[in-house]
């Protein structure tokens, strides 16, 4: 069990159920903005529940205590629906790091707080330019998933298909301001992608090292259990190992030139065979 102080007084945190963590984190996600501290947002959501008259023993409030504590909040003062955090420390969960996604944390539901911090505070690089990953609505994500599925070639890694779709969008003249591009970047980020290089003139597509924590966080927020999240991590680590082996086989000059690029036909996304 953990504890933190609310209005200067310690409150006892027991072990909430997973559904209560889900309920609390969903309340937070509904209020997440592109900027601002997510741990402080969680504290505000907790303050709002207390302002509604919910007792400290309420299951969702208990989940809120646990999440806030995991995100490094040690002391907060509640004034109506706002919380003033007066003491906090840096934690792996607040940084959305892989170390916050242990088996017990995933199974209990506590890891959802760390997954939220990861999923809503990512950056992805396209041709060495950084772009914030802006979460998109379910309708946009499902539409992009259908588009990617429709052009996926047999045995093609799904992240490669997503990269080709992004290349097609860029070839059409769309930019980061377009919802489709932001959705494609969000999907790639959920696969663990952190760096993409697209050369439309040469029809080449390249990726940098993947981030397992990104893929794990997305899997956790989708409700996958610890064993399935482990498989997501292993899959990403396998891709990174392939990148490492490929880089070792190349000379220094070849690495600088190729930068782990693979030949593709960016415009050729129609009429490809779907995987059965």
Split at pLDDT 50, 70, 90, the class of 229 is very high
Alpha-carbon distance 193 to 75, whole Å?
A: 36
- The answer, yes or no, to whether residue 270 has pLDDT greater than 60, is no
- H or E element at residue 70: helix 59-70
Which of 31, 59, 57 has its CA nearest to residue 44? 31
Alpha-carbon distance 109 to 117, whole Å?
A: 14
For tokens 């790091």, name the residue. Answer: 97
Question: What six digits make up the tokens of 117?
Answer: 């911090």
Contacts for 185 with CB less than 8 Å, ≥ 6 apart: 124, 126, 131, 133, 166, 176
**Percent of the chain with pLDDT strictly greater than 70:** 89
User: What pLDDT does 268 receive?
Assistant: 39
Alpha-carbon distance 9 to 60, whole Å?
A: 19
- DSSP helix, strand, coil percent of the chain (3-state; round to 5): 50, 15, 35
Whether the Cβ atoms of residue 213 and residue 276 lie closer than 8 Å to each other? no
Which of 166, 191, 193, 194 has its CA nearest to residue 180? 166
Alpha-carbon distance 96 to 99, whole Å?
A: 8
- Number of Cβ atoms within 10 Å of the Cβ of 43: 27
Write the DSSP string, 126-179. Answer: ETTEEEE-----HHHHHHHHHHHHHHPPTT--HHHHHHHHHHHHHHTT--TTSH
- The answer, yes or no, to whether residue 275 has pLDDT greater than 80, is no
pTM, rounded to two decimals: 0.88
Contacts for 118 with CB less than 8 Å, ≥ 6 apart: 96, 97, 213, 214, 217
Alpha-carbon distance 211 to 207, whole Å?
A: 11
| Range list of H helices, 172-209 | 179-190
User: What pLDDT does 139 receive?
Assistant: 95
What is the tens place of the pLDDT at every residue in 154-208?
Answer: 999 999 999 999 999 999 999 999 999 999 999 999 999 999 999 999 989 999 9
Alpha-carbon distance 233 to 187, whole Å?
A: 16
Least confident of 130-139, 145-154, 212-221, 242-251: 242-251
Domain ranges of the chain: 2-118, 122-263
For tokens 């242990």, name the residue. Answer: 102
């Amino acid at each position: 069990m953990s504890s933190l102080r609310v209005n200067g007084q310690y409150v006892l945190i027991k072990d909430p159920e997973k559904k209560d963590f889900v309920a609390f984190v969903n309340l937070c996600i509904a209020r997440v903005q592109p900027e601002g501290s997510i741990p402080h947002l969680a504290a505000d959501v907790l303050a709002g529940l207390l302002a509604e008259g919910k007792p400290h023993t309420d299951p969702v409030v208990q989940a809120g205590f646990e999440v806030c504590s995991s995100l490094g909040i040690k002391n907060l003062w509640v004034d109506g629906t706002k919380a003033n955090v007066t003491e906090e420390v840096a934690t792996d969960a607040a940084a959305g790091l892989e170390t916050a996604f242990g088996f017990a944390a995933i199974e209990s539901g506590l890891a959802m707080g760390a997954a939220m911090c990861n999923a809503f505070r990512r950056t992805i690089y396209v041709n060495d330019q950084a772009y914030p990953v802006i979460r998109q609505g379910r309708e946009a994500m499902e539409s992009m998933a259908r588009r990617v599925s429709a052009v996926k070639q047999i045995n093609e890694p799904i992240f490669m298909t997503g990269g080709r779709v992004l290349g097609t969008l860029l070839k059409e003249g769309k930019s980061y301001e377009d919802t489709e591009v932001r959705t494609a970047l969000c999907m790639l980020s959920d696969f663990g992608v952190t760096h993409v290089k697209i050369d439309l003139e040469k029809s080449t597509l390249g990726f940098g090292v993947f981030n397992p924590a990104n893929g794990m966080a997305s899997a956790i927020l989708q409700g996958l259990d610890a064993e399935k999240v482990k498989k997501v991590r292993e899959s990403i680590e396998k891709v990174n190992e392939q990148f490492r082996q490929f880089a070792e086989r190349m000379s220094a000059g070849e690495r600088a030139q190729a930068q782990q690029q693979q030949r593709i036909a960016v415009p050729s996304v129609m009429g490809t065979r779907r995987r059965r």
